[in-house]
A and B are shown apart, each in its own frame.
Chain A
Amino acid sequence: MTDASVLVGRDLGPATEREVAGDLVRRGALAAPVALLPAGLVWGWAGVASVGLATAIVLANFWLSAALLAWAARISLGLVMAVALFGFLVRMALVAGIVLAVRHQPWLAPWPLGLALIVSHLGLLAWETRYVSASLAFPGLKPAAAKE
């Protein structure tokens, strides 16, 4: 392949990012109550609201990243590079903007918000990576797609 094929080539296959992001959102929705309970016990309602907001931000970030990459891959691989880098900047700015906009609200506690942002992001990724690496290494173990 020449360099030109990198710029004009595109991938019209299934959007695997959307599948992974869907898994992450589903697992995040399952794990959220487990994180909300201790936050509520330690920090009260402010802890519950902060952890809920952090989880929502992390899941929205995953979903937006997947949607942008899947959209770009259908157009050109060169656009994937641009979308990955500028998408990173835009999404980090969005996360920072949302958190800084609500930081002085009385219902928000900074520590549970910050901790939940990191723990939920890394925890969900580690959970998903275990599943993905198992299905890549042993394709026979991959669950069959639902029949139409």
Chain B
Amino acid sequence: MLLANMVTNKGLAALTYGLGAIGPGIGIGYLVGQAVQAMARQPESAGMVRTTMFLGIAFVEALALIGFVVFFLGQAG
């Protein structure tokens, strides 16, 4: 049987979620690494860095959330 025949909508939806979570993982790792370095170099600007870091993490997280919603709606539909 061809592999393409075995692929279901649910399988594709789960794959989308999995792939969608890789990017945010890399993004958050890079973002937080840079923010922590900035805080260590300039402790006086830590408040500003933490605010920006928190918002950045939340924006990057939206990608994973979109991946999950596509997975969820693909399962439901």
- CB neighbours (8 Å) of B61 from chain A are 61, 65, 88, 91-92, 121
Q: A6-B37, A9-B39, A9-B40 are in contact. Are A80 and B55 (CB under 8 A)?
A: no
- Inter-chain contact B58/A114, CB cutoff 8 Å: no
CA distance A58 to B36 in the complex (A): 25
Q: In terms of DSSP, what is the predominant structure of the interface of chain B?
A: helix
Q: Does A95 contact B (CB under 8 A)?
A: yes
How many cross-chain pairs have Cβ atoms below 8 Å apart between A and B? Answer: 117
Q: Is the CB of A77 within 8 A of B69?
A: no
B39 touching A11, Cβ below 8 Å: yes
Chain B residues near A14 (CB, 8 Å)?
47
B47 → A minimal CB distance (Å) = 5
How close is A126's CB to chain B, nearest CB, in angstroms? Answer: 9
